[in-house]
Amino acid sequence: MHHRPMTDATTNLAFTRRLFLQRGCALASLAATVPCFIERSALGMLGDPLLASQPGVPDERILVIVQLGGGNDGLNTVVPFGSDDYYRARPQIGIRGPGAAPAQNAQPAALALDGAQGIGLHPNLAGLKALYDEGLVSVIQGVGYPNPNRSHFTSMDIWQTGRLDAKGSGWIGRYFDNTCNGTPTPEASIAIGRNAPLALEGDVQKPIAFESSSLFRWNGQDLHASLADPYERINRAGSDAVAGGSAKAGAPETQKQFLMRTALDAQVSSERIRTAVAKTPLVAYPGHGLANQLKMIGAMIRDGMPTRVYYASMGGFDTHGGQLGTHANLMRQLGESLEAFQRDLREQRNDARVTTMVFSEFGRRVKQNASGGTDHGTAAPMFLIGTNVKPGVVGRHPSLTDLDQGDLKHSIDFRSVYASVLEDWLKAPSEKVLRGRFMNAGLFKASV
């Protein structure tokens, strides 16, 4: 029994995909086999003026979403050190302002963002501060929604569906469903994690999710080396079904043809993703969880995957007790990961193609609780990172005294942030995706 060397197999698979796409473009009437992005760029190559690039802003834009699960303490992330009310509400866990006397809790001082407003980043967000100083970060203050829900599940679903009733498909899923005329694209969105988040689930468009690229494959081949070859032949038969003409042009695809085609896509994606991720990144990443996720995402972007939305997530933010140390650790990981990722993108010269958005399902109560922690709250800051975001601090810090049941009142609706991301960055009609009109928060540079 002979075994083809791996490189050979890779070449063959890549060729298969190329052939597949060429057929797809040539037979435009076979709508079901033409991935929408391919269709668009094919039209672009024909010189459609409406699709021509704007100078300096690449067409193939990418959104990376970073989810902070558990409810990140916004008030200790963007610290309102200029407010005495902050220290009154948080005598033990308050973070001192720059230049203030060392606090009892031995925390270093916040990193000043905007002197006039008296706000600064958590001292461990030095990485994010460096990006901010380079004009790459938008700090959006007081983001939330009306009648805030303090259940992790429900509030996360609200953010992910973009709907206050928390029902239905995800907002990114709907973006793809709307953009692609209902034609799913195999690698449109990728989440790093065991489960794909609801945000990426469309009615038609479904995300790919894997914890590590080595899990996005058939593991039967680990049982016995002899299984790899026949498995590949079986699952690549789709190329014959598509390219070899057993699908009659114009005839509806049978369930079996559909399955064969998807199996082929899966082989090609798997090979491609594992090849991409195996490469050493251009910059060093720290060793923790979020950094590893962003490292994989960076590798896939570098490899030129057609993926438009990536999703990374980090948990542990539900800091009900003794939060100082825990939260400081999380902030360090977050800051270092985001910085390494952005440096990687710059080294790749892909930084103009990517915007990163950081959010959590809610912030935390203004007053600390009896256990040195904070309970579930409401509005909190978001971050947008990239060369195309309008840098600086957006909006006013929410009042620490005009509260709703002890919680901050939001000043910016999260759907206004989504509207800006959709309209300005992804160039999609936000009203259709969000099922309602929301003010565009205007978070990107006018040239974008």
Partner 1 sequence: MGNPFQPLAKKDFDYGAAQHLLNRAGFGGTPAQVRALLELGLDDAVDYLVEFKGERVSNEGFEFKSDILRAQTPEERETLRRARATNDTETIARIERERQERQNADRAQIGAMKRWWLARMIETGRPLQEKLTLFWHGHFATGYRTIENSWHMLMQNGMLRSNCAGNFADLARGIISDPAMLKYLDNDENRKSSPNENLARELMELFTLGEGNGYGERDIKEGARALTGRTFRGNEYFFDRAQHDAGGKQILRRSGDFSGDDFVSIILEQPECSRFIAGKLYRFFVNDSPALTRDGVETVERLAKALRDARYELRPALRALFRSQHFHARENRQSIIKSPTQLIVQSVRSLGTPVRSVDRLVEAGDLMGQELFQPPSVKGWPGGRSWINTATMFTRQNTAVFLITGRTTRGNTAGSADPYDAMHLVEHLRDASGVLDARECVRSLAAFALGGEPDRARLDQLTEYLGSIGGTIDNDRVKALLCLISAMPEYQLC
The contact set with partner 1 (CB under 8 A) reads 1, 151, 153-154, 157, 166-169, 184, 186-187, 194-196, 201, 203-204, 206-210, 215-220, 222-224, 226-227, 230-231, 233-235, 237-238, 252, 254-256, 258-260, 262-263, 265-266, 269-270, 320, 367, 369-371, 375
The smaller minimum CB distance to partner 1, of residues 166 and 393, is found at: 166
From the CB of 356, what's the least distance to partner 1, in Å?
Answer: 23
Please state the closest distance from residue 1 (CB atom) to partner 1, in A.
5
Task: Give the residue with the Cβ less far from partner 1, 233 or 248.
Answer: 233
CA 87 to CA 366: how far, in whole Å?
Answer: 10
CB of 203 vs partner 1, minimal distance in Å: 7
The strand pair at 354-360 and 380-385 is best described as antiparallel
End-to-end CA distance of the chain: 56
Closest CB to partner 1 among 65 and 417? Answer: 65
Shortest spacing between CB 149 and partner 1, in angstroms: 11
Contacts of 183 (CB under 8 A, 6+ apart): 31, 32, 34, 35, 36, 204
Closer of 269 and 360 to partner 1 (Cβ): 269
CB of 404 to partner 1, least distance (A): 14
Q: How far apart are CA 329 and CA 288, in angstroms?
A: 11
Tell the smallest beta-carbon distance from residue 244 to partner 1 (Å).
Answer: 12
At its nearest, how many Å lie between partner 1 and the CB of residue 359? Answer: 19
What the block records as the tokens of 381 is 């800051």
Q: Would you say how long the chain is, in residues?
A: 448
Residue whose C-alpha is closest to residue 412's, from 16, 146, 217, 49: 146
Phi-psi region of 162 (alpha: psi -120 to 50; beta: other; left: phi over 0): left
HSE of 292 in the Cβ direction (CA atoms, 13 Å)? Answer: 10
Smallest gap from Cβ 270 to partner 1, in A, equals 7
Q: 14: buried, middle or exposed (CB in 10 Å: 19+, 13-18, 0-12)?
A: middle
Taking the CB of residue 332, how many other CB atoms lie within 10 A of it?
18
Residue closer to partner 1 (CB basis): 82 or 372: 372
With vertex at residue 139, the alpha carbon angle to CA 137 and CA 144, rounded to the nearest 5 degrees, is 140
Closest to 147 (Cα-Cα) out of 405, 421, 419 = 405
> Considering beta carbons, is residue 87 or 231 the nearer one to partner 1?
231
Q: Which is nearer to partner 1, 257 or 337 (CB)?
A: 257
CB of 40 to partner 1, least distance (A): 21
Of 368 and 420, the one with the shorter C-beta distance to partner 1 is: 368
Task: Find the angle CA(343)-CA(381)-CA(309) to the nearest 5 degrees.
Answer: 50
The answer to whether the beta carbons of residues 92 and 123 sit under 8 Å apart is no
CA–CA distance, 173 with 183 (Å, rounded to integer): 12
State the DSSP code for 362. Answer: -
**Least distance (Å) from partner 1 to the CB of residue 357?**
23
Rounded to 5 degrees, φ, ψ at 263 are: -65, -40
Residue placing its CB nearer to partner 1 in the complex, 201 or 423: 201
Nearest residue (CB) to partner 1, 123 versus 184: 184
